Structure formats: structure tokens, C-alpha cells
Amino acid sequence: MPEPKAPQTIAAANGIATDPAYRAVTPPIYLSSTFAFEGFEKGGRYDYSRSANPTRDLLADTIAKLEGGVGAVITASGMAAVDLILAGLEAEDWVIAPHDCYGGTYRLLAARAAKRQFNLAVVDFADQQALAAAFAREPALIWVETPSNPLMRIVDIRAVSARARSIDAKVAVDNTFLSPALQQPLALGADFVVHSTTKYLNGHSDMVGGAVIAADKDDLQILIDWSNIAGLGGAPFDSYLTLRGIRSLFPRIERQQKTAGAIASFLQDHRFVQRVHYPGLRSHPNHDLARDQQRGFGAMLSFELAGGRREIARFVESVQVFTLAESLGGVESLVAHPATMTHVSMGAEARQAAGISDSLLRLSIGLEAEDDLLLDLDRALMAVAH
């Protein structure tokens, strides 16, 4: 039988009905930490689950196919996935990272740079002069996060990758906000894709995990080796849950982004909202670029509430369908206040430089009925006014 090509088919059916033991339709979960040798000097494909595990491998194979890579490494968290890519750097290497990347990524890059494990240049990717100056350092690695968190800014992956190739730099793209259902960075020229599988890939907010997908076989082998050396691999049970989540990735995200579009329009017209950041809006500065390199605008958005601390507190305590919590990409809708939650570790100065104001709220749109979500937001906005 030919390999299935459509990504929807890969998501729903990769590895289905391949169990050699009992013909189980759903691939079984292998929790075993160790695997018996057939005899003296006769090890099998698996020997110890830190090095490799069948359940984790099936997840890696599925995500690699969805991203169009040669393979993937599944890690215990999204942060472990980010750190895995950094493991290959030398002390004299330069890393370029966006000034508005995920707070945890920013903290990790800054902490490792402070330990002199590499040099770090944090730049605004929209500032062409600053970007040119950073490229002039001939960096070894360029970190891209698009759409960015929480301001939903878009970086041109094709342009950055072409420029990186001319100086032999590697490009890693954090694709957590869109998932391979809506964006495939490797096809646009990137070398690595990183995921917090905690978010859309698992999609049910019941595990923490990560993945790195590579475009090149040699790069992949380095990642596999480091993951084994440092013990970064994800647990079999978490891998099983993530694979279970991926089965419904496409219908979930398609429905979630449809609702997100409606919510973005609603907020844009609301008198208690100052600004909405959603790439699907024509008013978004990178709307055309998003339409060109993405297959959809996603289900994440942020907006600035008219008012300050008091109004923010009233809003987040008034919502009833949305839940005030960190994280994103699950079936349930969440609201977060980046300045005091997801981006608190960045510090006020770096937040201000990145344009993350104290009145900014971030929404992750779930699978609830659109009308219930709109009503909830409308009620909370009205509560702010009183």
C-alpha cells in the first residue's frame, strides 16, 4: 500500500492497525523501561527507554511526517525541546532571538548566555537595521517564533531562512502557535521546528511535552544523541496521550480558528477594547504575509483593554466560560494576562521593549459554542465599565 500523503490522514491514522501481537487497532502503549535481549550480544531494536521507546517513536514518526521532516525527537517539555537545539552550540557561537519570543524561551536563552554557553543577540525582527546588524555577527543559530507570543507578530520564514543559508546559519522555528496543520516551516526553508506539544498537538491540557523536528539527517542524529546523553526524552504515557490528541488535530484547529476569527472581529468593534492582535484581521500589519505562509490564522489572539490594573482584574474575574490560566491550544478557552503570568519572568523593561503592555490580555479559543464565548466576553467587558 502506498504511504498516505494527506496530512489529515497521517494525523488520524499513522500507525493504526499495525500491532503485530494482537492486531490491536489503536497502537498499544509500551511503558517498559527496559527490553529483553534475545541472547548474548543479541539486542533488539529497543534496549532501554531513555534511548528509544516504541510509543515515543510512533509519536515522533507522526509529527515528523506532519512537519515534512526526516525525523523528530520527543522531549519531556517544550523547554527541553528548545534546550536540545541549544546543546549543539559552541561558546563562541552567536544566537539571534526575537525580542518578543515566549517568556520561557527568553529566560532559557538569557540564562545559558549568562553562563557563556553561547553569545545572544536579542532583536526586533521587524527592525531591518537591527536584524542586519545581528546577521553581520554570522550567527550559528537563528531563533524564530511566528506568530509571536503574545502579540501575534509574523516573521517571514522564507526570507530569514534564505538569508541564514547564505551564511551557513541554522534556523529553528517554534511552530507551537499554529501546529503543522496551519504552517510547515521546513517547507519554507527552516532547519528545525520546535513544538510545545503541551499545546495544540496534544490539545487537551492533560500533559506537558515537546518535540524537535529536523530537515537534515545529520542534524537529526545530533539531536537523538543529545536527547539520550542528557535524558531529555518524553515519557511513553505522555507520548500516547499526545498521539491520541493528534488524531483530531485538524478538525479541532479548523473549528477553533473559525471561532477565533469571529471573536477577533467582535473585539475589534468593541468600545472597551483599544486594539486587537490577530493576523486574520485586515488591520494586522502582517496580514498578507500570514496569508502567504500560513494555511490559516490560528486560534490565538490578544487584545488591549481600555483601562489599567483594576479593569484587567475585573475582566478576568468576570469571565465564566473562559478560564484564567496559562497555556493554550486546548479544547477549553483560556484567558491569560501576559504581564503578570506568562511573561512575568521577562521583566518590565524587556516587556516594554517588546510592546507587551500591562493592559494586554491573551485568549486561546477552544471548542465551546461561538455564541457562548461571545456572550461571556461581552458580559465581562460590560462588568469592566461598571
Buried-state track 292-323, b at ≥16 Cβ within 10 A, e below 16: ebbbbbbbbbbbbbebeeebbebbbebbebbb
- Residue placing its CB nearer to ligand PLP in the complex, 69 or 209: 209
DSSP letter string, 349-379: HHHHHHT--TTEEEEE--SS-HHHHHHHHHH
- Residue placing its CB nearer to ligand PLP in the complex, 299 or 380: 299
- What angle (nearest 5°) sits at the alpha carbon of residue 186, between those of residues 12 and 329? 50
**Is 216 one of the catalytic residues?**
no
Among 174, 191, 219, 238, binds ligand PLP (CB under 6 A): 174
Among 199, 277, 284, 351, binds ligand PLP (CB under 6 A): 199
- Residue placing its CB nearer to ligand PLP in the complex, 62 or 146: 146
Binding mask 204-243 for ligand PLP (x = CB under 6 A): ----x-x---------------------------------
**Is 174 one of the catalytic residues?**
yes
102, 106, 200, 240: which is the annotated catalytic residue?
Answer: 102
**Is 5 one of the catalytic residues?**
no
Among 53, 161, 196, 202, binds ligand PLP (CB under 6 A): 196
Q: How many residues bind ligand PLP (CB under 6 A)?
A: 16
Strand blocks (E) in 100-231 = 119-123, 141-145, 170-174, 192-196, 210-214
Strand blocks (E) in 167-272 = 170-174, 192-196, 210-214
Q: Are 364 and 179 in contact (CB under 8 A)?
A: no
Binding segment for ligand PLP among 101-109, 124-132, 275-283, 358-366 (CB under 6 A)?
Answer: 101-109
- Residue placing its CB nearer to ligand PLP in the complex, 27 or 209: 209
The minimum distance between CB 384 and ligand PLP, in angstroms, equals: 27
Phi-psi region of 212 (alpha: psi -120 to 50; beta: other; left: phi over 0): beta
DSSP letter string, 3-54: PP-SHHHHHHHTTTT--TTT--SSPPP---SB---SBTTB--S-SBTTT--H
In angstroms, the CA 302 to CA 236 distance is 34
Contacts for 111 with CB less than 8 Å, ≥ 6 apart: none
Question: Is 105 among the residues that bind ligand PLP (CB under 6 A)?
Answer: yes
The minimum distance between CB 195 and ligand PLP, in angstroms, equals: 8
- Residue placing its CB nearer to ligand PLP in the complex, 276 or 300: 300
The minimum distance between CB 145 and ligand PLP, in angstroms, equals: 6
Among 176, 183, 184, 294, binds ligand PLP (CB under 6 A): 176
Cell of 234: 518524553
Among 54, 98, 104, 298, binds ligand PLP (CB under 6 A): 104
Residue nearest to ligand PLP (CB): 78
Binding mask 251-270 for ligand PLP (x = CB under 6 A): --------------------
Binding mask 128-167 for ligand PLP (x = CB under 6 A): -----------------x---x------------------
What kind and span of H or E run contains 189? none
Cell of 384: 469592566
Contacts for 318 with CB less than 8 Å, ≥ 6 apart: 379, 380, 383, 384
**Is 165 one of the catalytic residues?**
no
Cell of 309: 490594573
The minimum distance between CB 350 and ligand PLP, in angstroms, equals: 16
Question: Is 102 among the residues that bind ligand PLP (CB under 6 A)?
Answer: yes
46, 50, 247, 255: which is the annotated catalytic residue?
Answer: 50
User: So which residues are the catalytic ones?
Assistant: 50, 102, 174, 199
**Interacting residue ranges for ligand PLP, rule: CB under 6 A:** 77-79, 102, 104-105, 145, 149, 174, 176-177, 196, 198-199, 208, 210
